[in-house]
Structure 1
Amino acid sequence: MHAVALTSGLPIDDERSLIDVDLPDPQPGPRDVLVEVRAASVNPVDVKQRAGSPELEQPRVLGFDGAGVVRAVGEEGTLFRPGDEVWWAGQLDRQGSDADLQLVDERIVGRKPASVGFAQAAALPLTAITAWESLFHKLGLHEGSEGTLLVVGATGGVGSILLQLVRELLPGVRTIATASGEEKSQWVRTLGASATADHHGDFVDDVLAAAPDGVDWVFSAHSAGRAEDFARVLKPFGAVVAIDSGKDVDFDALKSKSLTWHWELMFTRPMQHTPDMIRQHELLDAVADLVDAGRVASTATTVLHGWDAATFREAHRLVETGRTMGKVVVER
């Protein structure tokens, strides 16, 4: 099969940073599905994994979001059959979706929404799982929850789906979204935010102007140097759920209000082979239902065509700028 791979961590403007390779067709294990990949998105994790990679003896295929068609099923598989259209987010410790074929454990695969194409579908799995687990598994929110959620990094892939999930599933939760500039402010309001805060400006003042008594929860994709700000805007006993690095986070700033800090990594279940891995299959099916009902929209904003290294390098370049809204997707 053809794949796009890395062999060492190089700047994205180096043609060797991602290369075209031919690899053996993978063979499914007992619980795997073998999927013909039709589209894959590029996430910040792809960029970080590529840029920080040591020199490798064997090519590594990135890609942690995909949509495609099942071609074969492992001997213990029960959830899918050949011909099924599916979507998934893969694993850090397996070859990824930037290839013709990919093996994925069926317990982290869901049915692709029938109402959208492969490119639109491929934008959502990783971010939808991250947003869902952040809201419902980490913060413990539910249909009856009431309060205000600050979404830091709201214009990115996770923030863009998280705002929609809150709008559709948490009627008592109000969202304040960080955004800079009119275009991005309009984007997050379209997705359900009731107010915005400029994370490049008077962040704390903006948040407290929108929520004078403070917020109940913070979702953070950009936490470095922000713990003190979060402590100022959170009510006592509030909580933060963060999806980025803990570097440069002053956790002592949270103590005086007895604030809780949660980490969210959607790869934990598949990497640790937890007994409840199938929850990711279940939540992907639930999100597919929301998409097909017209309640949640794809967050794909840039779709590139061309299943080769040059196209994936351009996708990485766009994501590396940190200025994209929504998701960048590569389609065959």
Structure 2
Amino acid sequence: MPETMRALAHHTAGGPFSEVELPVPTPGPRDLVVEVRAVSVNPVDTKVHGGDPGGEAKVLGYDAAGVVTAVGDEVTLFSVGDEVYHAGSIARQGTNAGFHAVDERIVGPKPRTLSFAEAAALPLTTITAWETLFDRFRVRPDDGGTLLVMGAAGGVGSMVIQLARALTGLTVIGTASREESRRWATDLGAHHVIDHHDLVAGTAAVAPDGVDLVFSPRTAGMIETYAELLNTGGEIVAIDEPEGLETLPLKDKSQTLHWELMFTRPLFEPPDMVAQHDLLARVAELVDAGTVRSTLVEQLEGLTPENLQRAHERVADGHMVGKIVLTM
């Protein structure tokens, strides 16, 4: 393994990406060092890019697929040569580099039937969707009820639909306004797809008795509407962080708002941290069985500053269907 690697970094808030040479990471006791073959870009990348890196070379990237090239002394789940996929941690350097150090407890075996590019589209959104359904909503396999998936054609929405259909009895309603987005959500398994521009009327048309659960990637200004749509005791999972969010409209019907951050386990290392490894392994099985599919839509050849900038712009415009991936 080489001593140094090429990476893409920025040095100022929102600043340009440039190639830098950094040391290849040395694995900690529970770490893998992964030779990165493909990465994808998520909204969190654009958000962190806008923060001040303090003059240091900040490497972004919170999705990758690659090959294990070194392991720490306490690693038990993987060996050198294994093909893996993972999302990493916002507390560490990212995946936009030749090699990436990551705790084995948040890494999964790459689905055998997928290319590295197809696999790199999945980890962050898969973890977020799984934790939304099974950690926050605590849905069980035999549970019924109705789930409203806002932004159904987005990265996380796409995985919420697929996992809900594959592993629960929920009726899934997705929201989408463009024909491309509506078709995408339907193809992934949504029972109904409605236009978010007329959410109340659209929901009433397909779920006249109301909905039980709402997945919300953009929550600002929506709480009163969600309170109206949700049944008594209904629940929301939000993955954004709108300033000054007022939740009082949820009180009358004893409704609940949950927060979901898939980086919580990597940041705080709770006793169940390995749950992210387990869920990625389970989803790899679902992919290989043909039950869940990759959400890769656009692939850029080469991890270059120009391609990374282009991918950030595509994600930031808010109209992405599925995921965009850069390959080495």
Q: TM-score, normalised by structure 2?
A: 0.97
Q: 1:157 aligns with which of 155, 158, 164?
A: 155
Instruction: Report how many residues are paired.
Output: 324
Is residue 4 of structure 2 the alignment partner of residue 5 of structure 1?
Answer: no
**Native 8 Å contact 1:149 1:175 kept in 2:** yes
Q: Corresponding residue for 1:324?
A: 320
Alpha-carbon distance, 1:55 to partner:
4.9
Q: 1:97 aligns with which of 95, 103, 107?
A: 95
Greater displacement, 113-122 / 174-183? 174-183
Structure-2 separation of matches of 1:327 and 1:198: 21
Q: Corresponding residue for 2:189?
A: 192
One-letter amino acid of the counterpart of residue 8, structure 1: T
**Native 8 Å contact 1:225 1:248 kept in 2:** no
Q: Corresponding residue for 2:19?
A: 20
Structure-1 separation of matches of 2:198 and 2:161: 22
Structure-2 separation of matches of 1:153 and 1:274: 30
Structure-1 separation of matches of 2:315 and 2:27: 31
Question: Match of 2:252, SS?
Answer: helix
Greater displacement, 245-254 / 291-300? 245-254
Structure-1 separation of matches of 2:88 and 2:106: 7
Structure-2 separation of matches of 1:253 and 1:196: 26
Q: Corresponding residue for 2:234?
A: 238
Q: Corresponding residue for 1:138?
A: 136
Greater displacement, 231-240 / 188-197? 188-197
Structure-1 separation of matches of 2:53 and 2:190: 43
Alpha-carbon distance, 1:248 to partner:
4.7
Structure-2 separation of matches of 1:69 and 1:196: 38
Structure-1 separation of matches of 2:180 and 2:33: 40
Structure-2 separation of matches of 1:181 and 1:39: 29
One-letter amino acid of the counterpart of residue 178, structure 2: G
Structure-1 separation of matches of 2:246 and 2:151: 19
Alpha-carbon distance, 1:316 to partner:
0.5
Structure-1 separation of matches of 2:178 and 2:298: 19
Written as runs of structure 1 = structure 2, the 5 A alignment for 1:113-262 is 113-170=111-168, 172-199=169-196, 201-262=197-258
Q: Corresponding residue for 2:41?
A: 42
Give per-residue Cα distances to partners, 1:144-184, cap 9 Å, x unaligned. 101100001111100001101111111x2101101002221
Q: Corresponding residue for 2:302?
A: 306
Structure-2 separation of matches of 1:174 and 1:295: 17
**Native 8 Å contact 2:89 2:266 kept in 1:** yes
Give per-residue Cα distances to partners, 1:14-71, cap 9 Å, x unaligned. xx521111111110010000000000000000001002x2152320110000000000
Structure-2 separation of matches of 1:187 and 1:173: 19
**Native 8 Å contact 1:241 1:264 kept in 2:** yes
One-letter amino acid of the counterpart of residue 178, structure 1: T
Stretches (4+) displaced over 3 A = none
One-letter amino acid of the counterpart of residue 229, structure 2: V
Structure-2 separation of matches of 1:309 and 1:74: 31
Q: State the identity %.
A: 51
Give per-residue Cα distances to partners, 1:242-268, cap 9 Å, x unaligned. 111142532011111100110000000
* Unaligned residue ranges in structure 1 (runs of 5+): 11-15
Structure-2 separation of matches of 1:25 and 1:121: 23
Alpha-carbon distance, 1:122 to partner:
0.3
Question: Match of 2:251, SS?
Answer: helix
**Native 8 Å contact 2:39 2:117 kept in 1:** yes
One-letter amino acid of the counterpart of residue 182, structure 1: E
**Native 8 Å contact 2:12 2:55 kept in 1:** no
Structure-2 separation of matches of 1:41 and 1:221: 19
Structure-2 separation of matches of 1:250 and 1:324: 28
Structure-2 separation of matches of 1:255 and 1:308: 49
Q: 2:71 aligns with which of 67, 70, 73?
A: 73
Structure-1 separation of matches of 2:315 and 2:174: 20
Q: Corresponding residue for 1:32?
A: 31
